[in-house]
Amino acid sequence: MSDPVLYETRGPAAWITLNRPEKLNALNGAVLDGLNAALDRSIADDDVKVVVLTGAGERAFSAGYDLSAEAAHAEIPAHTWHDVLGTDIDATMRVWSLPKPTIAAVHGYCLAGGCELAMACDMIVTGESGQFGEPEIRYGSGPVTLLIPFILGQKKTNELLFTGDMIDAAAAERAGLVNRVVPDDQVESEVEGLVRKIAPTPLPVLRLTKIALNRAYEAMGLQEAVKMNLDLSSMLNAADTPEQREFMDIVKSQGLKAALAWRDARYGEVLGGASA
């Protein structure tokens, strides 16, 4: 079996690749473990100035948490959900607080927990195929790591989280979610250009600048908002609404694709994907 997360160095950059292309790079326990190990390597290597996070294949950066695996937790109580979701949040916030600049290199679906991982990076470069959003409300869940209000602001966040809509790369750039949109075949070269601009700065200066930027968001309440959202998300996932039960029953009996079709048909759309 292939490693769920790949790690390579390219000059002053460490490239970390989510490696489940057949599952749209959906996040599960093995991916999170691999991500944490890769982040450890990048921190320990003083030759690494910048960390790049991307997804394998052409279809997705990551479509979010693996709902096929999550179906096994469908009937657990809120206090157990708190532990499950806490593990997810810890991985995302490790990216957020990494003591080196981070860049998400995005193509295709970047949804739910995958969108949160991208938002946790300091910069996002996306190909024109990029699709962003947090569609969790459509089956009775919500964002796990509540970063989006601090990235987009109130009104656009409200729209996306109440509707579960996706936005394309151009709309994401207009909203301030991403830094740059380029043709898909130019994403890596665009990221490498950013790395070359960042790398001449001494590592201690980069680290202190990153700390200053993160503390500014912490002063706005980001860390507290993430913690409070964990408490609410645990209750939300354990709410056991008829829609939640129906979705998970279809996952178990007919598979994830059928459950997603049922979910999106309720909203008059056909989206698909393995997002959570």
Angle between helices 78-97 and 29-44 (to 10 degrees): 30
**Percentage of residues in the chain having pLDDT higher than 90:** 73
Residue type, 53: L
Q: Report yes or no: 27 and 78 within 8 Å, Cβ to Cβ.
A: no
- Decide the pairing of beta strands 5-10 and 13-18: antiparallel
Q: Report yes or no: 49 and 201 within 8 Å, Cβ to Cβ.
A: yes
CATH code for the domain of 33? 3.90.226.10
Q: Rounded to 5 degrees, what are φ and ψ at 56?
A: -75, 155
User: 109-134 pLDDT, tens per residue?
Assistant: 999 999 999 999 999 999 999 999 99
The answer to whether residue 270 is domain-embedded is: no
The reported pLDDT for the residue numbered 73 is: 58
User: 174-195 pLDDT, tens per residue?
Assistant: 999 999 999 999 999 999 999 9
Average pLDDT, the chain: 91
Query: What distance in Å separates the CA atoms of residue 178 and residue 126, rounded to the nearest whole number?
Result: 7
Residue type, 92: T
- CA 70 to each of CA 167, 168, 218: distance values in angstroms, whole numbers, following the listed order: 25, 27, 30
Q: Report yes or no: 244 and 232 within 8 Å, Cβ to Cβ.
A: no
Does the pLDDT of residue 207 top 70, yes or no?
yes
The reported pLDDT for the residue numbered 71 is: 59
For residue 131, give the 3-state DSSP assignment. Answer: strand
Sequence-distant (6+) residues with CB within 8 A of 118 are 53, 61, 62, 104, 106, 110, 124, 132
The answer to whether residue 40 is domain-embedded is: yes
The answer to whether residue 188 is domain-embedded is: yes
Q: What range does the domain containing 213 cover? A: 5-265
> HSE of 16 in the Cβ direction (CA atoms, 13 Å)?
27
The reported pLDDT for the residue numbered 2 is: 86
The answer to whether residue 274 is domain-embedded is: no
The answer to whether residue 275 is domain-embedded is: no
The number of folded domains in the chain is 1
Catalytic residues: 116, 136
Query: What distance in Å separates the CA atoms of residue 60 and residue 113, rounded to the nearest whole number?
Result: 13
Joined tokens for residue 267: 């909203």
Mean pLDDT within 47-51: 98
The DSSP output letter for 49 is -
Query: What distance in Å separates the CA atoms of residue 92 and residue 107, rounded to the nearest whole number?
Result: 19
Query: What distance in Å separates the CA atoms of residue 49 and residue 65, rounded to the nearest whole number?
Result: 29
The answer to whether residue 83 is domain-embedded is: yes
H/E element, 207: helix 203-219
The answer to whether residue 272 is domain-embedded is: no
The answer to whether residue 276 is domain-embedded is: no
